[in-house]
Amino acid sequence: MRIEIWADPVCPWAYIGKRRLDKALADWDGEPVELVWRPFRIDPTAPVPATPFEGSAEEELLRDLGILGNRNDAEAACTIGPAPVAQTPPIAEIAAAEGLGPTWGAAWRASSHDAHRLLALAHQHGGAELQHTLAEALMKAHFIEGLDISHAETLERLATAAGFPEAGTLLADGAADQQVKELLLIGKARGVATSPTLVVGDQALAGAQSPEILTRFLRDAGGRPHRQLPAEVERLRYADALLDKRDPLGALTLLHPLLDEYGDEPGVRLLAARAYFASAQLGRAASMLEELVAQSPDDSYARLLLGRTLTRQGRTEEAAVHLALAAAMTPEYAT
């Protein structure tokens, strides 16, 4: 059973959640488990290079990010955007109860992008065990040792200590940058909105839940049938989901490999045309839609979208022809 952990190493609840998951798995007697860490960023605007927290700066940032004020395990997660409520008890006390004391607290406001790259590379080159070891090392460095985990030397030292000495060179060469960006988009498409979120098949559990709740979730999710779709079909679905979430540029990022390999498939091209239209790349949208209409003159939706694209380009006479044909073929398009 594969457990995907969508989390950010600069999220305190991710570290607490990891410790609780470790406890749940220590007593796990079900099918073998593979843990895979996936990226989620709670602070996409974190500066590069990192800046030190001073005074109450860390607490203010955590409150702005919706990290403080989790009243129960169902809310014990980091979100993006303000969601402050009264915090009871302080997160440091919760961390200490999980064995993450006596010192606790980040010293740096650090971008986690390169830390996510390191985790992706660890899985690629050393598998799930190395990746899980480095996830622990990154969060310990950030929350207990007060290190800057956005710094290249810190990441290289942590990776070398974990048995991954080539990581520094790979990171310097930009490895896994695109992979992390795509995974962030896939997480968004799948509806991941908090750190940590556990995903098994089609089932998800958000928050740093207790070991008992985690065990119940794993037994339930692991027992459900899950059909694995071909990778290109999943990518197409994720791109479609991003369009529904009004992220056409993200959709195009996921579509580019499909356009390279399956550029003749009408479904791929139509989805790309929709994304071009939604991102105001009207010339590209029109060009692609004109080809689609030429290939399939009876595709009323392609004609409708082409008509709307031409209208936005100011080509009203050309647009009127396609809009009229679309309405004739599909009357509801006349409204």
Within 13 Å, how many C-alpha atoms sit on residue 67's CB side?
Answer: 25
pLDDT in tens, 277-288: 999 999 999 999
pLDDT score, position 34: 97
Would you place residue 227 in the very low, low, confident or very high pLDDT band (cuts 50, 70, 90)? confident
Domain count of the chain? 2
Is there a single domain that holds both residue 135 and residue 213? yes
217 and 235 assigned to the same domain: no
211 and 240, same domain (yes or no): no
**Are 19 and 98 members of one domain?**
yes
Q: What is the CA radius of gyration of the chain?
A: 23
pLDDT band at 93 (very low <50, low <70, confident <90, very high): confident
| Residue numbers of the domain that contains 193 | 2-222
318 pLDDT above the threshold of 70: yes
Domain boundary among 222, 257, 272: 222
Strand ranges (E), the chain: 2-7, 34-39, 51-52, 108-109, 197-200, 203-206
- Give the torsion sign (CA, 312, 254, 43, 15): positive
Average pLDDT rounded to a whole number, residues 323-328: 97
Instruction: Please indicate, yes or no, whether residues 144 and 252 belong to a single structural domain of this protein.
Output: no
pLDDT band at 333 (very low <50, low <70, confident <90, very high): very high
* 84, pLDDT greater than 90: no
pTM of the model: 0.92
Contact 178, 187 (CB under 8 A): no
Mean pLDDT, residues 161-183 taken together: 98
List CB contacts of 56: < 8 A, sequence separation 6 or more: none
- Which pLDDT band, with edges at 50, 70 and 90, does 47 fall under? very high
Question: For the segment 106-150, what is each residue's pLDDT rounded down to a tens digit?
Answer: 999 999 999 999 999 999 999 999 999 999 999 999 999 999 999
What is the overall mean pLDDT for the chain?
92
Q: What tokens were used for 47?
A: 């500066």
Alpha-carbon span 150 to 47, nearest angstrom: 10
Q: Give backbone dihedrals phi and psi of 81, rounded to 5 degrees, phi first.
A: 110, 160
In this structure, the answer to whether residues 57 and 187 fall within a common structural domain is: yes
Q: What percent of the chain has pLDDT over 70?
A: 92
With bands split at pLDDT 50, 70 and 90, how would you rate the model's confidence at 86? Answer: very low
User: Are residue 107 and residue 209 in the same domain, yes or no?
Assistant: yes
**CATH number for the domain that contains residue 131:** 3.40.30.10
Which of 193, 222, 251 is the endpoint of a domain?
222
Question: Which pLDDT band, with edges at 50, 70 and 90, does 82 fall under?
Answer: very low
Q: Find where tokens 């991954």 sit.
A: 164
Can you read off the two tokens belonging to residue 132?
A: 């899980």
* Among 222, 242, 272, residue at a domain's last position: 222
- Say how far apart CA 153 and CA 297 lie, in whole Å: 59
Domain co-membership, 317 together with 247: yes
Listing DSSP states for 138-153 in one string gives HHHHHHTS---TTSHH
More confident residue, 183 or 66: 183
Same domain, 106 and 198: yes
For residue 65, the model assigns a pLDDT of 65
Same-domain check for residues 168 and 240: no
How confident is the model at residue 221, as a pLDDT? Answer: 93
Does 217 share its domain with 316?
Answer: no
Segment 21-34 shows an average pLDDT of 95
Mean pLDDT value of segment 61-87: 57
How open is the CA angle 222-119-47, to the nearest 5 degrees?
Answer: 125
Q: Is the pLDDT of residue 88 over 50?
A: no
Decide which of 77 and 10 is more confident. Answer: 10
| Domain containing residue 262: CATH number | 1.25.40.10
Query: Same structural domain for residues 247 and 201?
Result: no
